[in-house]
Structure formats: C-alpha cells, structure tokens
Amino acid sequence: MVFRFSGQNPKKRRIRERLENCVNTILDLNERLGAGKIKPEIVEQFKKLKDTFARLDENLVEEKEVDKIEEATNRLLQEIREIYGEQTMKELYDMPKH
C-alpha cells in the first residue's frame, strides 16, 4: 500500500484501501497495456483521484460512493478483458513488472 495512516477507524481505513485498490489497479493496468490503450481521459481522472488521497477526509466519504467507484473499475476491467481477452489479461499479470 502506498499510503500509511495511523490512528484511523478500521472502517474508514478500509474505505481508503478500497479506493486505493481501484485507482492503483487502473493505473497499473494502463502502464502494463501501454499508453493510450485506456482512454487518456479515464487515466487522468484516476490520477487526479490518487492525488487527492493525501487530502481525503474519510469522514466525508460514504461507502456507497466507494461502491460506485468499484463498480466503474470492474466495468472498465470487463471491457478491457473483452477487448484483449482473458489470456492477455492473465499474461499481463503473470509477467514480471519492471
């Protein structure tokens, strides 16, 4: 995990972890696929979201909002899987990352 915060409520910490997982998954996949494979506008939005983590007040984030981000992440992953195929996705994550 990139960010470490002490003294957090476990539920709020879990919300932050869920958000970080979504963002990091999409940014990592973009890197592995190569620039331009995921629409640059989408990648830019995830980068902006990642930049806001330092200022994020978990008390203002509701679980239903995180659910929506997870749903969007899963839909994007499904679209990429449909375009590139399950085998390509497996190969992307079986190879060592540089």
Please state, in angstroms and rounded to a whole number, the distance separating the CA atoms of residues 27 and 38.
9
Instruction: Please give the structure tokens belonging to residue 17.
Output: 């972890």
Quick one: how far is CA 98 from the chain centroid?
A: 19
Domain-embedded: residue 4: no
Q: 0.75 exceeded by the pTM?
A: no
| Residues 38 and 26: beta-carbon distance below 8 Å | yes
Domain-embedded: residue 2: no
Higher pLDDT, 65 or 5: 65
Residue ranges making up the domain that contains 35:
10-94
Domain-embedded: residue 76: yes
Domain-embedded: residue 26: yes
On the question of pLDDT at 5 being above 70, the answer is: no
Average pLDDT for 17-37: 87
Q: What is the pLDDT of residues 35-87, one digit of tens each?
A: 778 889 988 988 888 888 778 777 788 889 889 989 988 998 898 889 888 88
Closest by Cα among 62, 59, 74 to 25 = 74
